[in-house]
Structure 1
Amino acid sequence: MATDMQPAPERRFPNMPSVELPHGATTGVGGFPHRAAADAARCSLANLTIPSIPSLPRRSPAEGAIAQAMVGMQGITDGQYGSLSVDPARVDPLAPLSTDLQHDAFVGFRTFLEYARGLEGWVSWRLVGPVTLGMALVRAGVPASEAFEAAVRTVRARSQHLLDAVGGALPAAKQLVFVEEPDFADAMTPGFPLAPDTAIDLVSGALAAIEGSAVAGLHVCGGGDIASQLAAGPAVLSLPVRTDLADSAGYLVNFMERGGYVAWGAAPTSGPLSASSERPWRNLSHLWCELVERGADPGLLRRQAIITPECGLSAHTPAVAERVFKVAGEIGRRVRDQATATRWALGA
């Protein structure tokens, strides 16, 4: 793997698949804080217009993002209390992956599918991407070349297994799948074990594996280089609401003009949490004004927007999670109202 890091060369964004998500819809990113899977399922179905299939790391460490990604790989064995053990010598990139929804890692997932029977419209879920999974395997002692090859194959197989499971349980629902790549935020920094283009290609492959059956989104918690995230080719890009995003206006304008949606992490999950939507809505509106000044279409900003919490909620309480979802819902309603108003203003 390359260790000499240079800035990623300019790339043309891949072709955008056709996406028609409901503007102002709300969904989740990251884990839920519940210990009871039934409570998490009910919370998601009651509070989100695109219900999010919960993962529950506080219920069991097996439902942590990395543990859930690794379970079923050769060389990964169950430990005590939901933990996993990695035997680097036994990790084989060519070994088949097992996805057992009866495993402790998928309690939140399968419980939601039971509670959501008959669901129509949209549903969202997440899985860890190949860059982050590969880095986790490297940290566990797997040689980098084998770690990233195993990660690519695992993510591709896991996404298909879960797409099939959701499609079988909820045949009337359309799926929005977020590839979670927190480690991709460091892909442009010196010392990262993948060259920037290689990291982009790995994420792009994971998104492409989803696109035949679902809408593929990308969530890089903590930020990172916007151009590189868009070069991977997501149909939906999840971004926290930050003022410095205005510096990437050209990339975002191009993305939206080609049909891309932004999942705005507008409901804060860190620092002082808002009891109302007023301040988060002002922050989003201010950012949108900055983007419009730099060339964004105000109608596209609203029509191609969904609203999420800033990041996952597993560190909070269920009561706080519901409050964050309600704030997201209030912001979403404002977005829908303004999107409708812009359509009327344009005579649509």
Structure 2
Amino acid sequence: MTDQAWPWPTGAATGIGSLPGTDIAEAQRIVLGELPNLPHLPELPARGPGADLIGRTAGLLVELPVELYAARWRIAPRPGRELRRARDLMERDLDQLAEQAEEYAGPIKVQAGGPFTLAADLELPIGGRMLRDPGAVRDLTGSLTEGLREHVAAVARRLPRASVLLQLDEPSLPAVLAGRVRTESGLGTYPAADVELVSTLLRSLIEAVGVPTVVHCCAPDVPVELIRSTGAAGLALDLSLVTDLDPLGEAIDAGLGLLAGAVPTRPPSNGRAPTSAEVADRVRVLWDRLAFPRARLAEQVVVTPACGLAGATPEYARAVLKACHDAGRRLAED
């Protein structure tokens, strides 16, 4: 592998995105305090519609308004109340970020749903998921691309000394590729998406947004090679779901960064968060099984929770973030 500068500092740790609670000011304080070398913009789904992954991301779409109908997001003829709420929540979050991190000068991570997870969830006005129509998926990807460009620019304006790292959340991507996304009736599934189309659209989005991008997929059967082909800077996954080491090893050897989900999102049976030593050991074990030199580990790997922490208690969530940060520091000291 050629030498390269990673878009995060050595020994970095970060969160995947979501946290418990509804107080964005407090969530931002926790993130900036516990993850000082790679903080992220917290997501608080407990605030309701528009704060969830799909609604929050749909609020970023350009010229593609959405609305809630029967508790599901669908494409709408014009902007309405739910869309305004999603955009207001995001604006409030960015203002709070600017207030607390105005002088921050390192990398800052922001998250949004990827186009295929969005297409597997958003409904067309005539019914059915956007995934059923390849033309609609292309339009959705174009709209999301423009929205993400504007979002990244908005973050950069508020934090002029920071550098933005984008995370695309694609938990539905394996199901999209395998033809496992169920139709509304639940009796059938949508056809498997074309791998080349998926790769092309993701690559075009990443290139157009123009900042280092990681793809997050906390599901089994992560399409590692496809993600590497998109030009992503890194892959975020749950280490407990990794069963086939060869594709991951090839991707890492080719230069893909790894956001290693090493801490469970819910407390184990003993009720406590793993120690930083235990977290660091989980990452080292994987790295050693891949047979890479330890000297590269802290540069190429970022320590994270296994997935979002919205379902955790505030105490456990904070302990997890602290354990990730301290584990990253331990890896840097190896």
Calculate the TM-score normalised by the size of structure 1: 0.79
In structure 2, which of residues 38, 44, 52 is the aligned counterpart of residue 56 of structure 1?
Answer: 44
User: Could you say what secondary structure the match of 1:237 adopts?
Assistant: strand
Contact kept in structure 2, 1:125 and 1:176, CA below 8 Å: yes
- Deviation for aligned residue 1:203: 1.9
Question: Is residue 2:63 matched to residue 1:76?
Answer: no
In the alignment, structure 1 residue 124 sits paired with structure 2 residue 109: yes
Q: Which AA in structure 2 matches 1:111?
A: Q
Q: Which residue number in structure 2 is paired with residue 312 of structure 1?
A: 308
Q: CA deviation at 1:22?
A: 1.0
Normalised TM-score (structure 2): 0.82
- Which range is displaced more, 279-288 or 26-35? 279-288
Aligned to 1:206: 205
Matched, 1:328 2:324: yes
* Residue in 2 that maps onto 1:262: 258
Q: 1:167 aligns with which of 156, 164, 174?
A: 156
Whole-angstrom CA distance in 2 between matches of 1:58 and 1:166: 23
Q: Deviations over 1:150-203 (max 9, x none)?
A: 320222011111111111011110111111111112233145442122122222
Could you tell me how far apart the structure 1 residues matched to 2:166 and 2:38 are? 11
* Offset of residue 308 of structure 1: 0.9
Could you list the per-position Cα deviations for residues 232-271 of structure 1 after superposition, in whole angstroms to 9, with x for gaps in the alignment? 22111112223745x333x444433443311111122146
143-152 or 258-267, larger mean C-alpha shift: 143-152
Distance in 2 (alpha carbons) for counterparts of 1:240 and 1:119: 29
Between the aligned partners of 2:240 and 2:86, the Cα distance in structure 1 is 37
Shift of 1:229: 2.2
> Which one-letter code corresponds to 2:48 in the other structure?
S
Deviation at residue 85 of structure 1 after TM alignment? 5.2
CA distance in 1 between partners of 2:84 and 2:213 (Å)? 20
Query: Does the Cα contact within 8 Å between 1:159 and 1:209 map onto a contact in 2?
Result: no
- Inter-partner Cα distance in structure 1 for 2:67 and 2:4: 38
For residues 175 and 34 of structure 1, the distance between their equivalents in structure 2, rounded to whole angstroms, comes to: 25
* Pair 1:269–1:100, CA change in 2 (3 A): closer
Q: Distance in 2 between matches of 1:157 and 1:243?
A: 33
Query: Which residue does the alignment assign to 1:178?
Result: 167
Give ranges in structure 1 of 5+ residues lacking alignment. 1-14, 93-97, 339-348
1:102/1:287 CA distance change after superposition, 3 Å: closer
Q: What residue is the counterpart of 1:31 in the other structure?
A: 18
Q: Which residue of 1 aligns with 2:93?
A: 108
Give 2:182's aligned residue: none
Q: Match for residue 239 of structure 1?
A: 237
Quote the RMSD (CA, aligned, Å). 3.0
- 1:128-150: CA deviations, max 9, x gaps? 11111111224763552343123
User: In the aligned structure 2, how far is the partner of 1:199 from the partner of 1:236?
Assistant: 17
Q: Deviations over 1:46-96 (max 9, x none)?
A: 01121101121112321111001222554423689xx775356x389xxxx
2:74 to 86, 95, 120: 86
The Cα offsets for residues 27-46 of structure 1, whole Å up to 9 and x where unpaired, read as 11131212111101101110
Matches of 2:262 and 2:165, distance apart in 1: 19
Equivalent position to 2:54, from 66, 71, 77 = 66
The 3 A distance-change label for structure 1 pair 205 and 248 is farther
What residue in structure 2 maps to residue 151 of structure 1?
140
Contact 2:199-2:226 within 8 A present in 1 as well = yes
